[in-house]
Amino acid sequence: MAGELSEVISRILRLGWWWVLGWSVVSGLSAQQFPSNWSIADARLAAYFEAEVRRIETNCMADVRTLGDWTGQREERRRQLLDMLGLWPLPERTDLKPVVTGRLDGDGFRVEKLRFQSMPGLYVTANLYLPKGVTGAVPAILYVCGHAEVKTNGVSLGNKTAYQHHGAWLAQHGYVCLVIDTLQLGEIQGDHHGTYRLGQWWWNARGYTPAGVEAWNSIRALDYLETRPEVDKTRFGMTGRSGGGSYTWTTAAVDERVKVAAPVAGMTDLRNHVCDGAVEGHCDCMFFVNTYRWDFRLNAALFAPRPLLIVNTDADNIFPLDGVTRLFTATRRIYEMYGAYDRIGLVIGPGPHTDSQNLQVPVLRWFNQHLRNQDPVVVRAAEKPFAPEQLRVLDVIPADQRNRTAQEFFGERLPPNVDSLETLRRLLARDVFMGWPSTPPDPEVRLVASGGSSGRFLREYEFTSQTLVPLRVFILGQEGEGPMRVELRVLDESGWRDWLAAARFEFGQALSRHTFSEMAASGARLPLLAPGSAVVWFCPRGVGPDRWEGDARKQVQIRRRFQLLGQTVDGMRVWDVRRALAVVRSLAPRATIAASGRGVMASHVLHAAVFEEDSLQLNLEGLPETYREGPDYLNAGRITDPTRVRGLVRSVHRVGGE
């Protein structure tokens, strides 16, 4: 029996590779795109990402065929972007409390060292460059910085000091230019790295992204510029490179005071990020929380028909050229609908992801053309006139600063009144689990292996949870009539190892090649079964037999790819639990069903039960009490908390194990 079972499973695994590679031909992927050291699970994951990106691309603006189609939805799209930035409804515009802490004199310009508060305790440090010898109000440029850490003796001087040549150069050419620090690399250093490096996945549950802070600080910077007598408030431009390019995209999309924009190396399309891995070069500040499952071309389209210059280099590894040109082509279509073909441009300079004169000169010319109706020859180079220490704004960090804890409060809003399971189900489907398939595929349940011992059987079934996501359940039952009670046990990685050890002890062999060499047989045993009962073991995607290979960093980047799709790994695991419950019902139609899990898997069971109409017995061990502890569900903390979910689930299901 042991040899027969092993051979059955080996055959299934071999067929699995051909299934993945066969799908790749249909989808446009080639077998060569899968590295030879990839597991089946890795290849399937790559195919899954390709399919999900393609679905989003296909749906993105598919209903926009005329200008009327676009203008009819534009304001709702702008509201959605604000929502995904944590800015809907817009925060109160509190007193900026601006303070000029010093002044510098330069060649053809002067500088004011400035701080203001975009909201109480959220400080923005900045340098304001003012042209000399200019009378009357002139156009103003908001320059937002990319990632450049500048420190002296451990003291942050702000990334504005690394980008000072832009402010000085623009002022020398007759513009007021405000250069603002970012949250991560300002004089008061907050964080951009919650999911990227710090393991703070609860940012997702809060619906928090530092991209929202950067957009809000930019909006308030425009508010400040409006107070300056030197500034013509009807002629605002905005630019920045890398992170600053990204903040230019989002701010200019939601604030129409920006009349001309020139984002430099700040955006590419979803395909580059998810399928090609560009996401791995970016921290969290580059992305909104993709609740509405956008391709980034929607963000770009919101600037139309205002003059927009897209600037990039041809060898930028984190903003690849192919994605930038796709983004430009898609955005130009909207401009053409407006009859504004001449208001969008694309500049591609040579080189990698660097700040160069090749990119700066076209940006200045774009501002001259569209803010001044001029196009003089640019002969002066942009140079850094000051030592970084000279541009420092703060002598001491204000005691009331909240920059370092922005992730705790920014975008905070009162949760809705969720007073019924129906309301909870609707809100979770709309704002948390929006990445679930709209129509579940046929589960295609199929027996792939079976073994027996002492009157008991152990059977392995494979089923389709989602297109390109085949999963397995392992059923322990008794020969004879079908069971009247079945318990579905949802396993984490530790639970999977324990189960494997128990199955190997009783059945005397490994059940599949997915067993891991480091797992020694233990004294654990499979449970005894009461008459008429069965037990089902199940691992959702990325766990146990279908776990993704790679170190901790790779697992982080897999999770971040899911985020960009408007999903999370944990959110899709809830879907997997629902599908496993459906499989159990199909295999044991007369049975009552219990479902159990521990830790984060207990949460997946609980949230799956929200969507199950038939009564379940839930056994939840170590259920997290807050989303801060886990699991990682997009926006869930904006709606509810696990304790409230558990209370509402009790109206339909029996909850034990608490």
Q: 109-119 and 99-106 as β-strands: parallel, antiparallel, unpaired?
A: antiparallel
- pLDDT for 510 beyond 70: no
Mean pLDDT on 509-518: 40
Amino acid present at 130: L
**Residue 629 placed within a domain:** yes
**Residue 176 placed within a domain:** yes
Question: Are 259 and 340 within one domain?
Answer: yes
Render pLDDT for 364-417 as a digit per residue (tens, 0 to 9): 999 999 999 999 999 998 999 999 999 999 999 999 999 999 999 999 988 899
Domain count, the chain: 3
Question: Are 307 and 376 within one domain?
Answer: yes
Return the closest-CA partner of residue 415 out of 587, 180, 638: 638
Q: Give CB contacts under 8 A, 24+ apart, made by 48-51.
A: 48/466, 48/468, 48/469, 49/274, 49/275, 49/561, 49/565, 50/275, 51/27, 51/467, 51/468
CA angle 478, 483, 488 (to 5 degrees): 95
H helices within 372-465, ranges in order?
406-409, 421-431
d(CA 565, CA 457): 40
Domain holding 481, by residue range, is 421-656
**Residue 578 placed within a domain:** yes
CA angle 41, 587, 424 (to 5 degrees): 75
**Residue 402 placed within a domain:** no
Give this prediction's pTM.
0.92
Last residue of a domain, one of 47, 73, 99: 73
Question: Are 640 and 518 within one domain?
Answer: yes
Render pLDDT for 194-246 as a digit per residue (tens, 0 to 9): 999 999 999 999 999 999 999 999 999 999 999 999 999 999 999 999 999 99
Note if the bond before 352 is cis, omega within 30 degrees: no
In the numeric block, the tokens 């080996």 are attached to 10
- pLDDT for 517 beyond 50: no
CB-based burial, 139-163: b 16+ in 10 Å, e otherwise: bbbbbbbbbbebeeeeebbbbbbbb
Render pLDDT for 56-108 as a digit per residue (tens, 0 to 9): 999 999 999 999 999 999 999 999 999 999 999 999 999 999 999 999 999 99
Q: Give pLDDT, residue 38.
A: 58
Last residue of a domain, one of 370, 389, 408: 389
**Residue 400 placed within a domain:** no
Q: Which of 168-172, 342-346, 509-513, 620-624 has the lowest mean pLDDT?
A: 509-513
Q: Give pLDDT, residue 37.
A: 53
Quickly state the pLDDT bin for 449 (edges 50, 70, 90). Answer: confident
- pLDDT for 346 beyond 50: yes
Question: Are 69 and 89 within one domain?
Answer: no
Question: Are 196 and 288 within one domain?
Answer: yes
Render pLDDT for 522-558 as a digit per residue (tens, 0 to 9): 445 788 888 999 999 999 999 998 999 999 999 999 9
CATH number at residue 215: 3.40.50.1820
Q: Give pLDDT, residue 27.
A: 40
Quickly state the pLDDT bin for 500 (edges 50, 70, 90). Answer: confident
How buried is residue 557: exposed, middle or buried, by Cβ count under 10 Å (0-12/13-18/19+)?
A: middle
Render pLDDT for 4-24 as a digit per residue (tens, 0 to 9): 433 433 333 333 333 333 334
Render pLDDT for 404-413 as a digit per residue (tens, 0 to 9): 999 999 999 8
- pLDDT for 622 beyond 90: yes
Question: Are 184 and 237 within one domain?
Answer: yes
**Residue 406 placed within a domain:** no
Q: Which of 269-278, 292-301, 522-531 has the lowest mean pLDDT?
A: 522-531
Query: If you write DSSP's letter for every residue of 299-340 in order, what string do you get?
Result: HHHTTTTS-EEEEEETT-SSS-HHHHHHHHHHHHHHHHHHT-
Question: Are 574 and 470 within one domain?
Answer: yes
Q: Give pLDDT, residue 4.
A: 40
DSSP 8-state code for residue 490: E
Question: Are 184 and 219 within one domain?
Answer: yes
- pLDDT for 469 beyond 90: yes
**Residue 412 placed within a domain:** no
**Residue 348 placed within a domain:** yes
Q: Give pLDDT, residue 503.
A: 80
Question: Are 499 and 627 within one domain?
Answer: yes
How buried is residue 99: exposed, middle or buried, by Cβ count under 10 Å (0-12/13-18/19+)?
A: middle
d(CA 44, CA 466): 12
Question: Are 68 and 116 within one domain?
Answer: no
Mean pLDDT on 451-460: 84
Tokens read off for 475:
């059923």
Question: Are 173 and 237 within one domain?
Answer: yes
Tokens read off for 482:
């079908």
Task: Detail the DSSP E strand segments found in 491-645.
Answer: 533-538, 592-598, 617-621
Question: Are 379 and 437 within one domain?
Answer: no
Last residue of a domain, one of 73, 99, 117: 73
Q: Give pLDDT, residue 507.
A: 60
d(CA 123, CA 586): 58
Q: Give pLDDT, residue 506.
A: 66
